[in-house]
Amino acid sequence: MDSARQLWRLWASVLVFVFYALSVSAQDVAPMGPAVLVADDIQITVHRRLIATGNVEAFQGQTRLTATAIAYDPDTGRLTVTGPISIDDGTGFRILADQAELSRDMQNGLLLGARLVLNEQLQLAAVQASRVNGRYTQLYKTVVTSCTICADDPRPPLWQIRAKRVVYDEQGQQIYFDHAQLRIRSVPVFYWPRLRVPDQKQTRVTGVLLPEIRSDSRLGTGFKLPYFIALNPHRDLTLTPYLSNNTRTLEFRYREKFVRGEIIFEGAVSKDELLPDDTRGYLFAGGRFDVKRDFRLQFDVELVSDDAYLSDYDYSDRDRLDSQIQISRARRDEFIRLSYINLKSLRDDEDDNVLPSNVIEALYEKRLFPSALGGELRLAAEAHAHDRPSSVDFDQNGDGVVDGRDILRLNVEAEWLRTFQIGGLQAQTRLGIVGGVYEVTDDATSPEDESELSPTAALILRYPMVKQGGDGARHILEPFAQLAWIGGDTLTTPNEESTRVEFDQGNFLSLSRFPAPDRRERGWSAAIGATWSRIDPDSWSMSVTGGQILRQDAQPDFTSSSGLSGTQSDFLLSGQLRLKGGLALTGRTLFDDSFDVTKAELRGNWSNQRLNVGGSYIWIDEDPAIEQFDDIGEIKFDGIYRIDRNWTVGLDMRYDIVAGRTATAEAGLIYQNECVRVGVRVKRSFADSTTLEPSTSLGLTVSLNGFSMNTGERVEARSCGKHTK
């Protein structure tokens, strides 16, 4: 029986197609081609009227219509459709109606009891709708919402917009409202004589963005209303007035894309009660461009009117700004970089006049593979200069003061590396020579010029061993050792760039562990350690590295916090752990002969379908040699927990262990369903200095889904069932 019905539907569609082709002249056929009609029962009257009933489906191009019955009159070219009716154009635009009269190509017509559905989210219900030229849909006495409406729920939707007339421009992706009224439940809260909003498909259209209500303990309660201006397809401008009890602020952001690059400018200008006599503001700008011969030009500019502005307005928690312009090129065997950096400190205990505010650097690196020698030859040249605004000065005793010291240096390096395999033993030899020229000015306590030319040599031995466990996991144990030597004497020029040294597994086998070439390790040294790894994609994986540095002579520029002072370094222990359940841990610690921890850090993250938490722990012992007179200890935690499909809570906290107090704390709560998204955020800063004061801010954002920009996050609509109060 089913097979017979399917065969009848097939023959009926063929007959309709032939009939339609014969009854319409060639010049009357729509550009989209003829329609195809499929139904359970099809009749053709003596007046050539076509009547289709039962599971009716009609296709015209990408447009698909389903209905209970369709009657076609070839004399008028009109379709009379009995519902329930569904018209889908294949692009996310859908019309539902009780009854309709349409043109032959379904691009024009009148619909009764109509409802538009856009992107399966926004619903526009009207008593009557008319379809014009396949582009415009006009709706009269319209209710608009994206909330799920259940027949057994007597309550009105959470929000709705009622309008006398609504015009949806499908091609322009715009919705126009006449005499629109926003209602929360059934209570009117706002009225617009005319209103235009973009369809959710639109990603760039001029108009108002999501507003925000913000309350701050210092700035008072205020309101932000961003306005987006699409200047053209490649550039846009966003202006955000921010008005509160204590400030009048205009925020801005300008973006532009080019064929070979992009730029962005963002900032703000304020008049407030915190500094009533000053105009305050900031500007952050950045960009990148791909230029000829694989070079890339990058720049960023960071300017601020005063040290506390970024913190007062919660724009950034940075305490130092760096503006930079750089051109670079990275290839497989070559790297070139030229950069200029301007530094500004926002810390109340730092003076920009005595800091190296202007820095110029040039770097060239090259790799060669000479066939005569074998192995790899590395060449490098680096030029560096920085200056301080202050000049040389003398104290009351006539002794020189170094507040204005400026440095210029040029360093070159050549190194040859070759690896040998002797059974299971891997040996690598490194031979090289390094040179440098240094010039110091505006410093009466240091020599003006100094140079060096030092040979280097190293031998690295590794012996990796692999074992396959009974559970399928692979175990890798790799002991390693390095014997290294660098000639020459320690420089007497001031240590400007290598004052902060990190000792970790990344530089464990380096010839010199100073971060810059103005300082180098000298004499003989040995590095001894081992790495153990367990690798199992179906279970837990882990890697642990431990080792120590031994040297003939202590290096005077390694301070206690570096872990490298003396002839015997602190013991380094680092590792990573990953569990199948989503937990990941990374840690590093340094401890001395008494097993006292001098430096430690631990970072972790764990996530599942509902929870994502992360945190870190940092500890550094005091080190007066680098003007760090107190221990540094901090715990940072951040997490997001999805309570259910509607509620999400987040927490971000930073705790100062040494001071015994919270430094910053932030919490957020988000409620989201198919029709609305509400976010509440509260942030507390406990900083207290001459430029920063403790403050608390509270933010509230509300967006109506269907009108707000699509974030890619879809929320499942609630299902209709028995209504419970």
pLDDT confidence band for 128 (50 / 70 / 90): confident
Q: Indicate whether 114 pLDDT > 90.
A: no
Residue 260 domain-assigned (yes or no)? no
Instruction: Give CA–CA dist 307/690, Å, rounded.
Output: 10
**Tally of domains in the chain:** 1
- Domain assignment present for residue 624? The answer is no
pLDDT-based confidence at residue 215 (cuts at 50, 70, 90): confident
Is residue 136 assigned to a domain?
A: yes
Mean of the pLDDT values across residues 278-292?
95
Of 120, 183, 189, 190, residue with least CA distance to 156: 183
Whether 140 maps to a domain, the answer reads: yes
Q: Which of 598, 600, 605 is nearest to 621 (CA)?
A: 598
The residue-averaged pLDDT of 438-456 equals: 86
**Quick one: pLDDT band at residue 534, thresholds 50, 70, 90?**
very high
Q: Does residue 640 fall inside a structural domain?
A: no
Look over the chain and give the mean of its residue pLDDT values, rounded to a whole number.
85
pLDDT at 31 over 70: no
pLDDT tens-digit map of 457-511: 999 999 999 998 777 889 999 999 999 999 988 888 888 888 889 898 889 999 9
pLDDT band for 402, please (50, 70, 90 cuts).
low
Q: Go through 187-210 and write b for each residue having 16 or more CB atoms within 10 A of its CB, e for each that does not.
A: eeeeeeeebebbbbeeeebeeeeb
C-alpha to C-alpha distance for 36 and 16, rounded to whole angstroms: 7
Highest mean pLDDT among 82-96, 154-168, 183-197, 523-537: 523-537
Does 107 fall in a domain? yes
pTM: 0.78
Neighbours of 568 (CB within 10 A): 14
**Sheet strands (E) in 305-375:** 320-331, 334-345, 358-368
Could you give the CA distance from residue 505 to residue 498 in angstroms, rounded to a whole number? 18
Residue 28 banded pLDDT, cuts 50, 70, 90: very low
Q: Which of 78-92, 178-192, 473-487 has the highest mean predicted lDDT (pLDDT)? A: 473-487
Give CA–CA dist 166/177, Å, rounded: 5
Is 99 among the domain residues? yes
Q: Distance between CA 346 and CA 692 in Å, rounded? A: 10
Residue type, 52: A
Q: Which domain, by its residues, includes 69?
A: 2-204
Who wins on pLDDT, 664 or 531? 531
In a domain, 87, yes or no: yes
CB environment 349-371: b (16+ within 10 A), e (fewer):
eeeeebbbbebeeebebeeeeee
